[in-house]
Amino acid sequence: MGKGGQDFGKQKEDKNPRPSDGDVFPAWAKEIQECEKHFGVDRKLGLSSADVEKRREKYGWNELEKHEGQSIWSLVLEQFNDTLVRILLAAAVISFVLAWLDGEEGGEKEITAFVEPLVIFLILIVNAIVGVWQESNAEKALEALKEIQSEHASVIRNGSKVPSLAAKELVPGDIVELKVGDKVPADMRVVELISSTLRVEQGSLTGESEAVNKTNKPVSEDVDIQGKKSMVFAGTTIVNGHCICLVAQTGMLTEIGKVHSQIHAASQSEEDTPLKKKLNEFGEMLTMIIGVICALVWLINVKYFLTWEYVNGWPANFKFSFEKCTYYFEIAVALAVAAIPEGLPAVITTCLALGTRKMAQKNALVRKLPSVETLGCTTVICSDKTGTLTTNQMAVAKLVALGPKPTILRKFKVDGTTYNPLDGKIHDWPTGRMDANLQMIAKIAAVCNDAGVTHAEQKYVAHGMPTEAALKVLVEKMGLPEGSLGAESSESELLRCCQKWNEFESRVATLEFDRDRKSMGVIVNSRSQKKSLLVKGAVENVLERSTKVQLLDGTVVPLDENSKNNIVKALNEMSTSALRCLGFAFKDELTDFESYDGDEDHPAHRLLLDPSTYSSIESNLVFVGLVGLWDPPREEVFDAIEDCRAAGIRVMVITGDNKNTAEAICREIGVFDDDEDINPRSITGREFMCLPDRKAYLRQSGGLLFSRAEPKHKQEIVRLLKEDGEVVAMTGDGVNDAPALKLADIGIAMGISGTEEALNYTRRVNLIY
């Protein structure tokens, strides 16, 4: 069983430690054996029950801290933390007391005297009720983080497997098994790859637009969160592969825990909106003026309630009338109450509510009324890229096929930004007359593919890898060649073309994607009972293993240097446009697999069990074409940025994605001009944090781009802008955006993912904080 439990984590003395980069063991930078030694565990046996108890006593449960919300009474008191409101409250109290004292006289005067203070009290009570209702419904960001945490995990303890352990019971050193579809329950070091590859969707945490490959090999200690390839993080999802991991951090020490802490810290330093600041200034000035005037009015009438006689030139024999003094004091108070615009809070609230209604008509939901006014005062917009400026849905933008000669390439532009097969078309497409080369591309894209697309609640949703889902949508746009596949499926079937190709080419075996060869292959059995290999992957790698090319009419010719250079040139053109390129190839000569039908006793089956043989199987390929995919910008973004520029609002893009992709998108949407030198304006989050004068860098006019930005980088940028007097709006859709959303003067949660998991709208929604 795991030893060393008593020595583990001696660097921590706090029973409930807080996240700190300096005191966390860098598991991603250490060899597996070193990690096991540090955590005192054998990955084959797991921790013992005694070790688990000791570690839980030291580190607590694997869950995020629960912060006590404001009590109802503190929320009520907050509503009176306003100068005008306090003045009204004081005036109402004084009026009420005086009315009570005068009430001894009885009659009509008693009833009418109470009308004014009661009306003021009613206004203040209604205003407080509205404010408390807004505040009590405003804080959900921290709860949303808890919703994305995993609930169960498959763990090895005491030498045996526990298939479904509550995720909150995990402790550092636990050995966890992860498969496709699992949500990662803690920050963990990958110690063993059971499948040949492991890919994780971690965009909500890091801002990356694609699923990333993970490894069990150590990486440099001096890397950002995106570079920690040997770590999987709590709240992310396994989209491909099977692995064994070692729990490195739990609870508040995870990356999600750090985000949680940053959100909580930001919530403790909320500032007044520009409107409230102006109202407070107005209230203080009004208080001073009214106070002086009321004092003068009272003093002018002092001769009516205070008289005296002069004796030897000096005032003497003073006579004071309390009744008259009270009377004139009432006049002064009445003047003060009349001068105070008690209807102002109600008028402001009504105007903001009308603004909220107008914004709702444009799919913008406002959670706090002052946000409407703050939005109008914005001077800088800091925007996330993935899922905010872009759709967060992969789509094919360009298709390149071979022509009648090896040196001639045909290029097709593909429209569409969603997973809806009817969204967009392929320009200059030979509908119904697909040649042999295009048919082969469609076949590979449909069959060498594990993804799917479904339609529910007016949305098209990808299942599996987004790039593969985009390829299936491309196949639907390509259509079916006339008469080549027999009777067509019903028009109502979403992926009818892909279904037909899979019926025609039945899969026998799969050569899983491998990070070394960077390709995926499937062995299929056609209706002619002839085996063939279909391959898709990184264009350079597929091209390197290809010896021939297929031409327009299906003819196969040798791949010469000129043909190869043409293909590489097309690849470079698409890569510089931020397109992720995939190449397609096939192979008909499969001697070892001619009689293979999936039988485990067949000699060829042993080749499939060893991923190191995949490269040799995928050799001497016939190259047929390539496609360029991207996460396309939203259609409305370009005009929105132009409107911001015209209004004098600066736009800064802060993303966790890589620099080249982010720069290309920023040129596409108009943050930068096509021919503009953006080197002085494009920087990584880490480079920004190392600048000697970060505020000076942020003062540059025009757009700025921050790539590879972590949540703390985004929060720091927003903080510095606010300190410099800017009114900052932050837009984002992921967990990594939540701290900055909370800290900004106005936070805008885009879409249906990230910090507002509970939102499940069928159309695009912007939630304004």
Q: Report yes or no: 729 and 381 within 8 Å, Cβ to Cβ.
A: yes
CA distance 636 to 639: 6
Q: Report yes or no: 464 and 451 within 8 Å, Cβ to Cβ.
A: yes
The three-state secondary structure class of 517 is: coil
Q: Each residue of 165-198: b (16+ CB within 10 Å) or e?
A: bbbbbbbbbbbbbbeeebbbbbbbbbbebebbbb
Tell me how far apart the 2 most distant CA atoms of the chain are, in Å: 135
Q: Report yes or no: 231 and 187 within 8 Å, Cβ to Cβ.
A: yes
Report long-range pairs for 639-643 (Cβ below 8 Å, ≥24 apart). Answer: 641/669, 641/670, 641/671, 642/670
CA distance 748 to 765: 10
Q: Report yes or no: 707 and 658 within 8 Å, Cβ to Cβ.
A: yes
Contacts of 6 (CB under 8 A, 6+ apart): 54
| Known active-site residue 384 | yes
Closest CA to 238 of 281, 279, 188: 188
**What are residue 455's phi and psi, to 5 degrees?**
-120, 115
Closest CA to 615 of 535, 507, 525, 505: 535
Q: Report yes or no: 72 and 304 within 8 Å, Cβ to Cβ.
A: no
- Residue 368: C-alpha distances to residues 133, 352, 365, 381, 748 (Å): 10, 10, 9, 19, 11
Amino acid residing at 557: V
- Other Cβ atoms within 10 Å of 597 Cβ, number: 11
Closest CA to 733 of 718, 714, 706, 716: 714
Tokens of 568: 């590489």
Question: Residue 207, Cα to own-chain centre: how many angstroms?
Answer: 6
Strand partners, 366: 768
Percentage helix, strand, coil for the chain under 3-state DSSP, each rounded to 5: 40, 20, 40
- Other Cβ atoms within 10 Å of 455 Cβ, number: 12
CA distance 227 to 220: 8
Closest CA to 681 of 672, 690, 689: 672
CA distance 655 to 662: 8
CA distance 659 to 2: 43
Strand partners, 413: 398
Tokens of 510: 């799969």
Pair type for strands 519-526 and 505-511: antiparallel
- Cα angle for residues 34, 36, 41 (degrees, 5° grid): 155
Of residues 51, 82, 384, 657, which has the active-site annotation? 384
Give the CA dihedral 245, 248, 250, 253, nearest 10 degrees. -140
Amino acid residing at 264: H
Q: Report yes or no: 660 and 705 within 8 Å, Cβ to Cβ.
A: no
Name the burial class of residue 507, with classes exposed (0-12), middle (13-18) and buried (19+) by CB atoms within 10 angstroms of its CB.
middle
The three-state secondary structure class of 172 is: coil
Catalytic residue positions?
384
